[in-house]
Amino acid sequence: MHLDPFELHRPASVDDVVRLSRDLAGGFDYLAGGTDLLPNYKMHLNLKPHLVALEDVAELQGHTLARLGAMARLADLETDGALTAAYPSLGEAVREVATPLVRASGTVGGNLLVETRCFFFNQSYFWRASLGFCLKADGDRCHVVPQKEKCYATFSGDLAPALMVVDAEVEVAGPDGRRRMPLHELYDLGGDGIRRTHLAPGELVVAVHLPEASRGRPGTYLKLRVRPSYDFPELGVAASGVFEGRRVRSLRLAVGGADPYPRRFDALTDSLVDTELTDERLQEFSARVERAVRPVHNTFLLPDYRRRMVSVYVRRALTRLRESAAS
């Protein structure tokens, strides 16, 4: 597999990036670490003639306890003990992304906007041409849910659920200026595997902001995957919250790897606040989360198994939080 030619642009400021995005109107992709985009380009998936590299933009670099630059490398987060202790769900998620080599190049922004996955999409051009292309690249039908005209490719990033549960906010910049929103509102729950965020054309992620109020709050991230040393999540469950004994004082829960977008379950978790989380209530709660997700048959593990594992992982995550309060 080879890379087709493209024109590479190397802007040095966010303003220059935004200007370029206007000039290139739709004919470009942002390039961060390239660990997701470039393998997809090698498979001829939705190629663009221009790539706008974000590497030279100083404002996107680095991280602190309060802010992760979009170009912060995952390996740098993983080795920052103060950061991973302050946000345990993030610490557990970041070390589960891919392999050390990928984490050395992969970035926060690229992870939040990683391409959705499907075994009819993540294939070579020849493979896809043999079967017939699909809606997500070059074609007009879905092989997974043929009677529907939408894409069910799965969101397979690890960081988003882990950051959602600490109430992270995302700062974006684009032709209409800058704005900031809760991270869980970046993702379009009414969209699909193709259109899955609320980013306007040309908008880029500048940074993720971490609220001080979440610092030190107990949290966890549990990931289901086929090969633990390497694979994308078949399911990712993040939870963060405060318990007093069995009583829930605050709770956030988010699930990735099951739908085309990661989701937070605020209505369900709010119903637990100021109640005792008994084993019976936990069983009932996890079954409700399981009923809310809709995995389809487009990854390695069967959707029914992935769905049933949702309640298992939710139970494990909340039990872990409850036990940490008791100890």
Ligand X SMILES: Cc1cc2nc3c(=O)[nH]c(=O)nc-3n(C[C@H](O)[C@H](O)[C@H](O)COP(=O)(O)OP(=O)(O)OC[C@H]3O[C@@H](n4cnc5c(N)ncnc54)[C@H](O)[C@@H]3O)c2cc1C
Binding positions for ligand X, rule: CB under 6 A: 29-37, 39, 54, 70, 74, 97-98, 102, 105-107, 109-111, 113-115, 156-158, 204-205, 230-233
Part of the chain binding ligand SF4 (CB under 6 A), chosen from 150-158, 215-223, 248-256, 319-327: 150-158
Identity of the residue, 120 or 265, whose beta carbon is nearer to ligand SF4 in the bound complex? 120
Kindly state the smallest distance separating residue 116's Cβ from ligand X, in Å.
10
> Beta partners for 197?
187
Part of the chain binding ligand SF4 (CB under 6 A), chosen from 47-55, 61-69, 134-142, 219-227: 134-142
Residues in 283-302 at the binding interface with ligand SF4, rule: CB under 6 A: 298
Residue 142 binding target from ligand X, ligand SF4, none, CB below 5 to 8 Å by type: ligand SF4
**One residue of 63, 73, 103, 143 binding ligand SF4 per CB under 6 A:** 143
- CA pair distance 210, 163, nearest whole angstrom: 8
Residues in 179-198 at the binding interface with ligand SF4, rule: CB under 6 A: 193
Phi, psi dihedrals of residue 253, rounded to the nearest 5°: -140, 135
- CA pair distance 295, 155, nearest whole angstrom: 10
Q: If you ran DSSP here, which 8-state letter would residue 213 be given? A: G
Identity of the residue, 138 or 171, whose beta carbon is nearer to ligand SF4 in the bound complex? 138
Kindly state the smallest distance separating residue 225's Cβ from ligand X, in Å.
7
Identity of the residue, 96 or 167, whose beta carbon is nearer to ligand X in the bound complex? 96
**One residue of 120, 232, 243, 261 binding ligand SF4 per CB under 6 A:** 120
The C-alpha angle with vertex 45 and arms to 39 and 47, in degrees rounded to 5, equals 95
One-letter amino acid identity for 206?
A: V
Q: Does residue number 30 form part of the binding site for ligand SF4 (CB under 6 A)?
A: no
Cβ–Cβ < 8 Å for 137, 131: no
Phi, psi dihedrals of residue 244, rounded to the nearest 5°: -120, 105
- CA pair distance 241, 264, nearest whole angstrom: 13
Q: Which of 70, 90, 86 is nearest to 78 (CA)?
A: 90
Part of the chain binding ligand SF4 (CB under 6 A), chosen from 87-95, 118-126, 182-190, 315-323: 118-126
Identity of the residue, 33 or 88, whose beta carbon is nearer to ligand X in the bound complex? 33
Cβ–Cβ < 8 Å for 187, 159: no
**One residue of 17, 18, 114, 135 binding ligand SF4 per CB under 6 A:** 135
Q: Where are the alpha helices (DSSP H) in the chain?
A: 14-24, 37-42, 74-78, 81-86, 88-94, 100-105, 108-112, 125-131, 159-164, 266-270, 279-292, 303-326
Identity of the residue, 114 or 222, whose beta carbon is nearer to ligand X in the bound complex? 114
Residue 77 binding target from ligand X, ligand SF4, none, CB below 5 to 8 Å by type: none
The CB density around residue 253, as the number of other CB atoms within 10 Å, is 26
Residue 121 binding target from ligand SF4, ligand X, none, CB below 5 to 8 Å by type: ligand SF4
Radius of gyration for the chain, computed over Cα atoms and rounded to the nearest angstrom: 20
Positions touching ligand SF4 (CB under 6 A) are: 118, 120-121, 134-136, 142-144, 151-153, 193, 298
